[in-house]
Chain A
Amino acid sequence: MSEDRKKDTPEQAEFRAYCKDWLASHVQEAPPVRLPQSAIEIMHTPQMDYLRKWQGEAYAAGLIGCDYPVAEGGGGRTGCQLIANQEMQAANKPFLPNILGLGMAAPTIHIHGKQGIREKLLPRLFSCEDVWCQGFSEPGAGSDLANVQTFAEKKGDKWVINGHKVWTSLAHFADWMILLLRTDKTDKYDGLSYFVVPIKSELGKSVEVRPLIKITGETGFNEVFFDNLEVSEDYLLEDLGKGWQVAQTTLLHERGAGPFVTPSSGGATSGGSGAKEGLHVGGAHSLINLAKSSARNGRTAADDPVIRDKIMEMIIRQEGSKQGARRGRVEGLCDHPMRIPLQSKLVMSEIRQDAGALAMEIEGAASSLYINDDNAPAGGEWPLAYMNSYGVTIAAGTSEIQRNILGERVLGMAKSK
């Protein structure tokens, strides 16, 4: 982090000092319940209420949406979200719950939304008064996202929507959804349009949300059914038939490669166990402490040369990716402008998965103990983290799709099917 501070602009430096001050005086109450490892596993209202309060306070203090225009509820600053993120992470704050809103809906609405809509929706998104979800995937449209079949038809001055979305994270809390759908069945790509739609107000009427259970036993994603949901044309982003182009903005940000930095406060959660810190704060370095405090096959894991080698490999990969992000901002040291940005989602998700697997290897026999066992080391968070890591290598474009994109767009190799 230190190297980032070295050359703050005057605006950034002043803002950083402000963030530090505010964070130092901000009182963070302890969560009333165990918090999940990330926002897309928020299951219960007490979890959401606690996190929503935190996001609201951080927004009110100006640490969220810093780089968006003031008229849209932002801070009107330049290059300051990164600063706020660094300081919130350093202060070990809980994660922000409205992750799909902040990370994807906000930049998409800002770039493509109509005037009036942006000013109406974004302030409530930043403050977490409105929770957002992303309705892209469908049973028949996963990696092949452009195959979505959810359909909107114009009736009078309204659009009427019917269809079935799946894997919709946070839909069970969501007030609003960014929605990729079809307005023309004859053209795969140019038949797509992009809406923002209110869903909470329509629950039990034209919208139904059914939770799905993950391999971990947690909930967090859902199926969403639309049965004649009526929305105003104001909620269409860009023109009809431009849905695929708008979706690219969403996807680019989802993969960490877009122009807007996603507000992120790190991820300290209730327990502060190694797993949670390992994934967010200290990174792979937390595996060192885990190895020192774990016994496997009858001896201290930290003395096992194979384990040491594997931990070092994880730490090196993580540092490589951190330094890569730094190098990505030095034009003279990058031969292709998208080469590093397009790697970030793939690399981070696979590091996370491999770190989870390694943590379980370090814990040895005790890694069999899950979150509901009192004897589980680190509260059983590592096995949970390992399993949850598949969410990250599958969601937002699977690792295989990321490799296709990198091979084709960056290396220029022939397009695969």
Chain B
Amino acid sequence: MTQPKNFAFGDDEKMLRDTARKFLEDSLPTDKLHQLVAGNPDLYRDPESLWDEDLWQKIIELGWTTVIVPEDDGGMGMSLVALAALIEESGRVGLPSPFMVTANSSLVLRECKTAPASRLLGEIAEGKAVTLATTTKNGSWLAADCDVELSDGMLNGTAWFVQDARKVDSFIVKAKNSSGIALYEVDFDAENMEIIPDAIIDLTRDQAHIKFNNVQVSDEQLLAAAGQGCAALDRAEPGILTLVSADICGAAEWQLQTTVEYTKVREQFDHQLGYFQAVKHPLVNLMIMIDHAKSLTYNAACAYDTEPENAAKFARMAKARASDAAAFASNRSIQFHGGIGFTWECFVHLYTKRQKHNQILYGDASYQRAKLADLLMGPVAA
């Protein structure tokens, strides 16, 4: 299959994106974000989940959660490119919300092709927030690795690194038995389940591990039967990597532009900081990295819909380059703000922390490159 030249980013996608950009800039300027999530710098504060639920309701009304839900399930059935553009905008404002996790969940659900999955997609289109509980304690992103056991209709074990766990209505829980991996929907307030918040660096998100202690599950909750879950997760993975990369691109552009602005207003040695090439040239390098990351991200998004045979390859490229761009953006944005950049009061740390989190999610740059090498070069000889 071939991709359209314009990444399938046409007038509809542009209008959706432009409206989103305006809406987010108006709703969540950075000072407001700082007030919202960084009110308490206490090193030993309890884990928090700080977000604007009203803003989320408005986002639901704008229809963002319906974008990639198939039309048959009550959604708009648009391309991943359209969604990636929205995620990029939400990354740009550092939006705390269950938007990305719900989008990632939708990607998985679209691959399940079961009645409960279809039902849940419809609920997502109507505003239900969902996240994936699919990661292990040792941080494996592989579909087949699982710390939750399924037997006699009960879940036991722990799911780790569950993103935005306290902002959602339900979880997609990965569980295994002798037939393989299954996926279940489990409600936020299910019995015998404990959501234990993690104290994390990123102030714009929350994270938890979830303990299952004989949590009962039924067939209505069965999104993918044992043995079917891995394939669904694997097929969704390139889409998920693409969306995280899109968030990174948006946030990195904020880091770049904010730092560039600072080099125009701050003067030392009788010159604006941008006059000095030790400041200027690394910011140009950052711009180039962001542009690579963004181009690769849109290519990956377009490939996900139109060129599935290359989706994994292009998604790994995007996430690798985006993760490196995130690291460099964070590094230079703090450094080039000088002393003020090292304070809690300066906004750059919000993005540094979100980016650090983004870099890790679903595998960092070196992980992606190792996986890409396996795809392109074959595995290392034993």
Quick check: B366 and A414 within 8 Å, CB to CB? Answer: no
CB closest residue in chain A, given B14: A332
Quick check: A411 and B9 within 8 Å, CB to CB? Answer: no
Given the contacts A291-B377, A305-B380, A416 and B295 also touching, CB distance less than 8 Å: no
Q: Which of B5, B299, B377 has the most CB of A within 10 A?
A: B377
The reply to whether the CB of B372 lies closer than 8 angstroms to some CB of chain A is yes
B residues 1-28 near A (Cβ < 8 Å) are: 2-7, 9, 13-14, 17
- Residues in A whose Cβ lies below 8 Å from that of B17: 332
Q: Which of these binds chain B: A196-204, A267-275, A316-324?
A: A316-324
Quick check: A312 and B376 within 8 Å, CB to CB? Answer: yes
Tell me the complex Cα distance, A3–B7, Å.
Answer: 9
Q: Which of these binds chain A: B67-75, B184-192, B278-286?
A: B278-286
Partner of A316, one of B264, B279, B320: B320
The reply to whether the CB of B276 lies closer than 8 angstroms to some CB of chain A is yes
- Residues in A whose Cβ lies below 8 Å from that of B377: 288, 291-292, 302, 308, 311
- Residues in A whose Cβ lies below 8 Å from that of B2: 2-3, 5-6
Partner of B280, one of A3, A292, A327, A407: A407
Partner of A313, one of B276, B287, B369: B369
Quick check: B295 and A324 within 8 Å, CB to CB? Answer: yes
Quick check: B283 and A411 within 8 Å, CB to CB? Answer: yes
Quick check: A327 and B294 within 8 Å, CB to CB? Answer: yes
Quick check: A312 and B284 within 8 Å, CB to CB? Answer: no
Given the contacts A7-B5, A416-B280, A309 and B295 also touching, CB distance less than 8 Å: no
The reply to whether the CB of B271 lies closer than 8 angstroms to some CB of chain A is yes
CB closest residue in chain B, given A325: B295
Quick check: B284 and A319 within 8 Å, CB to CB? Answer: no
Quick check: B381 and A323 within 8 Å, CB to CB? Answer: no
Tell me the complex Cα distance, A53–B373, Å.
Answer: 42
A residues 329-355 near B (Cβ < 8 Å) are: 329-330, 332-333, 339-340, 343, 346-347
- Residues in A whose Cβ lies below 8 Å from that of B314: 319
Tell me the complex Cα distance, A187–B13, Å.
Answer: 51
Tell me the complex Cα distance, A400–B282, Å.
Answer: 11
Quick check: A333 and B298 within 8 Å, CB to CB? Answer: yes
Tell me the complex Cα distance, A317–B296, Å.
Answer: 9
- Residues in B whose Cβ lies below 8 Å from that of A333: 7, 9, 294, 298
The reply to whether the CB of B140 lies closer than 8 angstroms to some CB of chain A is no
The reply to whether the CB of B292 lies closer than 8 angstroms to some CB of chain A is yes
Quick check: A309 and B373 within 8 Å, CB to CB? Answer: yes
The reply to whether the CB of A300 lies closer than 8 angstroms to some CB of chain B is yes
The reply to whether the CB of B288 lies closer than 8 angstroms to some CB of chain A is yes
The reply to whether the CB of A410 lies closer than 8 angstroms to some CB of chain B is yes
Quick check: B317 and A316 within 8 Å, CB to CB? Answer: yes
Quick check: B264 and A412 within 8 Å, CB to CB? Answer: yes
Quick check: B5 and A403 within 8 Å, CB to CB? Answer: no
CB distance from A54 to the nearest CB of B (A): 30
CB distance from A334 to the nearest CB of B (A): 9
The reply to whether the CB of A4 lies closer than 8 angstroms to some CB of chain B is yes
Quick check: B287 and A411 within 8 Å, CB to CB? Answer: yes
Quick check: B263 and A406 within 8 Å, CB to CB? Answer: no
CB distance from B36 to the nearest CB of A (A): 26
A-B contact pairs, 29 of them (CB 8 A): A6-B2, A6-B3, A300-B381, A305-B370, A308-B373, A312-B372, A312-B373, A315-B317, A319-B296, A319-B299, A320-B292, A320-B296, A320-B317, A323-B298, A323-B299, A326-B5, A326-B299, A327-B298, A329-B6, A330-B9, A347-B288, A403-B277, A410-B287, A411-B280, A412-B260, A414-B264, A414-B274, A416-B275, A416-B280
Give the top 7 A-B pairs by smallest Cβ distance, nearest first.
Answer: A320-B292, A413-B274, A323-B295, A312-B369, A414-B272, A407-B280, A332-B14
Q: Which residues of chain B have a CB within 8 Å of any CB of chain A?
A: 2-7, 9, 13-14, 17, 256, 260, 263-264, 271-277, 279-281, 283-285, 287-288, 291-296, 298-299, 314, 317, 320-321, 366, 369-370, 372-373, 376-377, 380-381
